[in-house]
Amino acid sequence: MHLPSLLVALGVCACAAPVDQKPLAANVRHHAGPHKVQDPYTPDYRDPYDKKVDAETNKLQPLPWRNGEGATMLGPRNRERERQNPDMIRPPSTDHGNMPNMRWSFADSHIRIEEGGWTRQTTIRELPTSKELAGVNMRLDEGVIRELHWHKEAEWAYVLEGSVRITVLDTEGGSYVDDLEKGDLWYFPSGHPHSLQGLSPNGTEFLIVFDDGNFSEDSTFLLTDWVARTPKQVLAENFRVAPEVFDAIPQKEKYIFQGSNPDSIEKEIPSESKGYKKSKQRFTHKMLAQEAFNTTGGTVRITDSGNFPVSKSVAAAHLSIHPGAIREMHWHPNADEWSYFIKGRARVTIFAAEGTARTFDYQAGDVGIVPKNMGHFIENLSDEEDVEVLEIFRSDKFQDFSLFQWMGETPQRLVREHLFANDKKSGEKFEKAIASAEKDPIRSVLEDDEEEKAEL
C-alpha cells in the first residue's frame, strides 16, 4: 500500500482538520486488574493528580475532603446518590467555573405505562442541555404493537434487548419490513409512517433518538387518533366504503397495545398482485455485526451515512472501553455529543473554555451531553468491567479531533514552548510519547513495567 493510502486508512491527516474517525488496529491490552484503594475521602489523604475513584466497587462513601481541605457533612444525605456521583461530592481540583448540568438518568424520567409496554423519555425538558437530540427508552412485550404512526422528526433507534419487527413506507410508496435483534439499528426519516412490534418471548426494549431536543413522544401522529378525529363520511369517501364500516373504530388513540403474534415476513407482506411494492431503501443496519476497530483500550464501531446511507441526520459510535482504559481526549466539530451508557461506570470531564471545566459520573441508563467543540474524555472507573456506551450526533457524519494526534502532528518546537518551556526533560518525554501521532480513540493505561521502560 502506498503511504498516502496508508495514511488515509489509518485516519491520519497532515493538518489539523476534522477527519472521519478510523481507529487503528492494535492488540487489545487490558488493565492489570483491581488494586487496593486508600480511602480518599479523609482529611489526611493527598492526591495532587486527581486519580479516579470507584466508590461503588470499593464501597466508599464520598465526602467533600480534598487534599486536606473541606469538611464533613452534617445535614440530610442521599448516600446512594453520592456513591453514584462521587465527583460531585469531591470534584477534581481542576474543576472550575459554572457549567450547566450535562447528566440525566432515565431512572429519573416519568414512565408512561400501557398495555404490554411502557415508554419514558429524556428531552430538553428533563435535561436542558439536550438541545439537538432527544431520547426515548421503550419496552414492548411479545406481540405488543407501537401503533402505526409518524413524526415530524427523524427517528434513529438501537435495540437493547430482544427482537422487534419494524415496518415503514418510503416516499415512493415502497414498503420495508425487517426483524431486528440486539445491537441492530433502524432509521426513519421525518414523516415516514412506521410501526414496531415485540417478537421474542420477552419482547424487546430499545433506545430511540430523535433529531430535535424538543421532541415529545406524546405528540406523534397516530393512525387511530387521526381516524377518530375525522368525520366518518369523509373516511367513507376516502376509502370508498359505507360510513357504517367505521362504527367500530377506536374512539381514542391505541398508542401501545397487545396484538397477535406475527407470522414470518414472507407470509405477512401483501403480494405484488395486490399492489405491494418493496422499498429500494435500507432502513435497518446491524451495528454490532460490523467489524470492530480495535484500539489499545477497547473497540469502536461507527455507523453513519457512509455505511448506513439512509441515516442522513444521525451518526453514532458504539464503544467498549476496557477496564482502566480511557476514551482519549477529543472534541467534535460538527455536533453535540448525546451519550447513552449501556454498561459500566465512567467519569467525564468537560472543558468549556474560559477556565471552565466540570466532571460528571455516569452509569448504565444515564444520558450525557457534551456540546459541540467542548473537549472531553470518558474514563472507565472500574478495574473489572467494560464501559459500553453509544455516542450519538445530529449529523450525517461522525467526526472528531484527537488531542494526541494534534500534538503529534504540530511542530514540536511549538508544543514544547507551549507546555514545557521550563522543563526540557519532561518536554523530551512528551515528544517521544506522541511521536507516532496515531489516533488511538480508546487508550489503555501504561502498566508498571511500561512506565519503567518509558522512564528509560
| Residue 115, annotated as binding a ligand | no
Q: What is the CATH architecture of 291-409?
A: Sandwich (2.60)
Contact at 8 Å (CB) between 155 and 212?
no
Contact at 8 Å (CB) between 370 and 102?
yes
Q: How far apart are CA 155 and CA 135, in angstroms?
A: 10
Flag whether pLDDT at 50 surpasses 90.
Answer: yes
Contact at 8 Å (CB) between 168 and 194?
yes
Alpha helices in 284-423 (DSSP H): 403-409, 412-419
Average pLDDT over residues 200-210: 96
Catalytic residue, candidates 391, 409, 438, 455: 391
pLDDT band at 31 (very low <50, low <70, confident <90, very high): very low
Flag whether pLDDT at 16 surpasses 90.
Answer: no
Cell of 361: 459520573
List pLDDT tens digits, range 116-169: 999 999 999 999 999 999 999 999 999 999 999 999 999 999 999 999 999 999
| Residue 151, annotated as binding a ligand | yes
Q: Cβ-count burial of 55 within 10 angstroms (0-12 exposed, 13-18 middle, 19+ buried)?
A: buried
Q: What is the pLDDT of residue 19?
A: 43
Cell of 282: 435500507
Domain 105-285 identical in fold to domain 291-409? yes
- DSSP per-residue codes, 110-129: PEEEETTEEEEEE-TTT-TT
List, in sequence order, every residue forming a beta bridge with 442; answer none if it has no partner: 327
| Residue 332, annotated as binding a ligand | yes
DSSP state at residue 96: B
Residue type, 135: G
Q: Cβ-count burial of 56 within 10 angstroms (0-12 exposed, 13-18 middle, 19+ buried)?
A: middle
Residues in the chain: 456
Across the chain, mean pLDDT equals 90
List pLDDT tens digits, range 317-333: 999 999 999 999 999 99
Instruction: Give 378's contacts (C-beta < 8 A, 6+ positions apart).
Output: 319, 321, 326, 327, 339, 346, 347, 348, 387, 389
391 in catalytic set:
yes
pLDDT band at 218 (very low <50, low <70, confident <90, very high): confident
Q: What is the pLDDT of residue 275?
A: 76
pTM of the full structure? 0.90
Contact at 8 Å (CB) between 382 and 345?
yes
Q: Is residue 378 helix, strand or coil?
A: strand
Q: How far apart are CA 301 and CA 295, in angstroms?
A: 11
Average pLDDT over residues 58-71: 96
Domain ranges of the chain: 39-93, 105-285, 291-409
Radius of gyration (C-alpha) of the chain in whole angstroms: 25
Helix (H), strand (E), coil (C) string for 143-182: CEEEEEEECCCCEEEEEEEECEEEEEECCCCCEEEEEECC
| Residue 376, annotated as binding a ligand | yes
| Residue 155, annotated as binding a ligand | yes
CA 59-65-67 angle, to 5 degrees, is 115
pLDDT band at 36 (very low <50, low <70, confident <90, very high): low
Q: How far apart are CA 222 and CA 451, in angstroms?
A: 60
Q: Select the more confidently predicted residue: 451 or 355.
A: 355
% of the chain exceeding 70 in pLDDT = 89
List pLDDT tens digits, range 412-439: 999 999 999 999 999 999 999 999 998 9
The lowest-confidence range among 24-38, 121-135, 189-203 is 24-38
Q: What is the pLDDT of residue 199?
A: 97
Contact at 8 Å (CB) between 377 and 329?
yes
| Residue 322, annotated as binding a ligand | no
Q: What is the pLDDT of residue 14?
A: 36
Q: Cβ-count burial of 453 within 10 angstroms (0-12 exposed, 13-18 middle, 19+ buried)?
A: exposed
List pLDDT tens digits, range 356-402: 999 999 999 999 999 999 999 999 999 999 999 999 999 999 999 99
Cell of 151: 413524526
Instruction: Give 304's contacts (C-beta < 8 A, 6+ positions apart).
Output: 20, 311, 315, 316, 395, 396, 397, 398
Q: What is the pLDDT of residue 213?
A: 97
Q: What is the pLDDT of residue 30?
A: 42
Q: What is the pLDDT of residue 447?
A: 61
| Angle in degrees, 0-180, between the axes of helices 412-419 and 424-433, rounded to the nearest 10 | 130
Pairing mode, strands 134-140 and 144-150: unpaired
Q: What is the pLDDT of residue 17?
A: 46
List, in sequence order, every residue forming a beta bridge with 170; answer none if it has no partner: none
* Assigned CATH topology for domain 105-285: Jelly Rolls (2.60.120)
